[in-house]
């Protein structure tokens, strides 16, 4: 039986940063990744869905200097984000959060970034096993906790520390943690993908040169139904953009109130549209007066399947890890990524790095405190915003986006102390509600399963 210090399930950003950090601290680290093929990747790698953007302060959370990221990974450097409602628009040209990155943000090639992180981990001395999956994990708590991983190849791996980094599908994570959670509240109940995830879909489309906007991320709110459901356009290289959307899983169109207010629904719809239908309707809505869909051909040699990608994305609140069992859950598996801002590569990589470092040093008991210290403010913002807008109607989105536009304009023109007077009652109510909701989740109350709830 092969024995390692740290075994890591999942080879995405959380898993590879955990492996790199553990190896750099002198630990024997092994990553087990089942491998997902892509049309634009030569080798097997993780489920690298290419919906990747990075804002300025996210670079600091990622904890990798921008200068170290290879040029072939970065696609476009950005100067703004545009938020569109049914009838209103808000442009954000700065996040307002201090950052070391000198710019608004950038888009990057997700598969290339994952491959680069894998190279860093292997250079540090970690072993990256791809093309094999973990079928079972047995934990022995007699004495020092140890874990035996059974692989699909039939091989067993014994490890002192276990890092669960299997993304928002969480199949291994749920099986492992259910054994330490109460019968009336299993982790699989809390993190079940069908309830705790959104489904996302995107297409690679070639844009007419005069329409391609290389400098902005664009999001639309209130034009399709569903809690934190929205389409987007992200610029890639050349004039190729990713046009996609995220929405809750298993939505029933008969449960949608005021269907006629959602621009991407049609009176004849007898079900929620498929992702591809939504993409076409978005392009027709935005550009249909002068262009037709043939002006935006799909780029079929990209993505997972003929220029398209469908993938899960976490839409839940995070959980603590049972560190007394020498187990750390990281990234999407623990719910730190967010459907509200289309993922969370930065928080996934950072939690992995923390877990790998602490496991190598034999100090995993401090993991839950340290990840909160590193990414707690980001999680608190995401949970608060998602809570506020969860039941928004199209009209509410228009009012909120209009108020946000006034607030941002007022801040630029008059300074922070005077914005309330000029942004109106709606703006004041918006900020007041944000502060009130944020207080509800402060001091780590955004965690939905605490460490002391495990039976270890």
Q: For residue 410, what are its two tokens?
A: 């007022």
In a domain? residue 230? yes
Q: Are residues 96 and 237 in the same domain?
A: no
Q: Find out whether 48 and 12 touch, Cβ atoms under 8 Å.
A: yes
Q: Are residues 262 and 346 in the same domain?
A: no
Q: Are residues 22 and 74 in the same domain?
A: yes
* Contacts by residues 271-274 (CB-CB < 8 Å, ≥ 24 positions apart): 272/225, 272/226, 272/247, 274/201
In a domain? residue 437? yes
In a domain? residue 347? yes
Boundaries of domain holding 253: 198-312
Q: Find out whether 25 and 357 touch, Cβ atoms under 8 Å.
A: yes
Q: Find out whether 244 and 232 touch, Cβ atoms under 8 Å.
A: yes
In a domain? residue 448? no
Taking the model in full, what pTM does it have?
0.94
Q: Are residues 190 and 255 in the same domain?
A: no
Q: Are residues 434 and 306 in the same domain?
A: no
* Contacts by residues 346-349 (CB-CB < 8 Å, ≥ 24 positions apart): 346/54, 346/58, 346/59, 346/61, 346/62, 346/378, 347/61, 347/375, 347/378, 347/379, 348/12, 348/13, 348/14, 348/165, 349/13, 349/14, 349/17, 349/62, 349/63, 349/64, 349/117
In a domain? residue 24? yes
Residue 261: Cβ-neighbour burial (10 angstroms; 0-12, 13-18, 19+): middle
Q: Are residues 65 and 87 in the same domain?
A: yes
Q: Are residues 263 and 217 in the same domain?
A: yes
Q: Are residues 252 and 171 in the same domain?
A: no
| Nearest CA among 299, 294, 269, 262 for reference residue 280 | 294
Rounded distance between C-alpha atoms, residue 347 and residue 281, angstroms: 32
Q: Are residues 331 and 403 in the same domain?
A: no
In a domain? residue 251? yes
Q: Are residues 122 and 6 in the same domain?
A: yes
Q: pLDDT tens digits, the chain, 456 residues: what are they?
A: 899 999 999 999 999 999 999 999 999 999 999 998 877 777 788 887 766 789 999 999 999 999 999 999 999 999 999 999 999 999 999 888 899 999 999 999 888 999 999 999 999 999 999 999 999 999 999 989 999 999 999 999 999 999 999 999 999 999 999 999 999 999 999 999 998 899 999 999 999 999 999 999 999 999 999 988 999 999 999 999 999 999 999 999 999 999 999 999 999 999 999 999 999 999 999 999 999 999 999 999 888 888 999 988 888 899 999 999 999 999 999 998 776 665 689 999 999 999 999 999 999 999 999 999 999 999 998 899 888 888 899 999 999 898 888 777 666 544 433 334 344 556 677 778 888 999 999 899 999 999 999 998
Q: Are residues 165 and 36 in the same domain?
A: yes
Q: How many domains does the chain have?
A: 3
Q: Are residues 179 and 318 in the same domain?
A: yes
């Amino acid at each position: 039986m092969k024995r390692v210090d740290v075994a890591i399930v999942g080879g995405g950003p959380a898993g590879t940063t955990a492996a790199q950090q553990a190896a750099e601290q002198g630990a024997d680290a092994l990553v087990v990744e089942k491998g997902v093929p892509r049309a634009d990747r030569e080798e097997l790698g993780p489920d690298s869905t290419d919906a990747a953007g990075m804002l300025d302060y996210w670079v600091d959370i990622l904890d990798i200097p921008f200068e170290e990221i290879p040029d072939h990974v970065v696609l476009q450097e950005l100067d703004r984000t545009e938020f569109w409602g049914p009838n209103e628009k808000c442009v954000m040209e700065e996040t307002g959060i201090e950052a070391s990155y000198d710019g608004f943000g950038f888009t990057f090639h997700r598969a290339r970034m994952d491959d680069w992180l894998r190279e860093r981990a292997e250079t540090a001395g970690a072993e990256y096993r791809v093309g094999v999956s973990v079928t079972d994990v047995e934990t022995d708590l007699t004495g020092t906790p140890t874990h035996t991983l059974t692989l699909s190849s039939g091989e067993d791996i014994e490890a002192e520390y276990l890092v669960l980094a299997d993304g928002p599908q969480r199949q291994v994570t749920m099986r492992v943690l259910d054994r330490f959670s109460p019968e009336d509240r299993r982790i699989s109940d809390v993190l079940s993908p069908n309830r705790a995830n959104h489904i996302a879909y995107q297409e690679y489309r070639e844009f007419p040169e005069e329409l391609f906007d290389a400098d902005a991320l664009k999001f639309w709110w209130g034009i399709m139904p569903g809690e934190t459901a929205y389409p987007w356009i992200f610029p890639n290289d050349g004039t190729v953009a990713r046009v996609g959307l995220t929405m809750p899983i298993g939505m029933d169109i008969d449960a949608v109130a005021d269907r006629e207010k959602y621009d991407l629904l049609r009176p004849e719809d007898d079900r929620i549209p498929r992702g591809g239908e939504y993409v076409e309707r978005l392009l027709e809505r935005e550009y249909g007066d002068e262009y037709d869909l043939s002006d935006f051909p799909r780029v079929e040699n990209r993505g997972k399947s003929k220029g398209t990608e469908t993938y899960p994305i976490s839409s839940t609140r995070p959980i603590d890890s049972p560190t007394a069992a020498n187990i750390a859950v990281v990234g999407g598996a623990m719910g730190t990524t967010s459907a509200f801002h289309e993922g969370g590569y930065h928080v996934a990589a950072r939690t992995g790095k923390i877990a790998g470092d602490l496991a190598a040093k034999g100090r995993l008991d401090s993991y839950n405190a340290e990840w909160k210290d590193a990414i707690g403010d980001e999680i608190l913002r995401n949970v608060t915003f998602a809570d506020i807008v969860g039941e928004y109607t199209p009209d509410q989105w228009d009012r909120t986006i209009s108020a946000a536009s006034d607030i941002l304009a007022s801040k630029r023109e008059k300074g922070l102390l005077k914005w309330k007077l000029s942004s109106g009652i709606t703006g004041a109510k918006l900020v007041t509600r944000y502060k009130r909701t944020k207080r509800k989740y402060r001091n780590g109350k955004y965690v939905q399963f605490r460490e002391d709830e495990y039976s270890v």
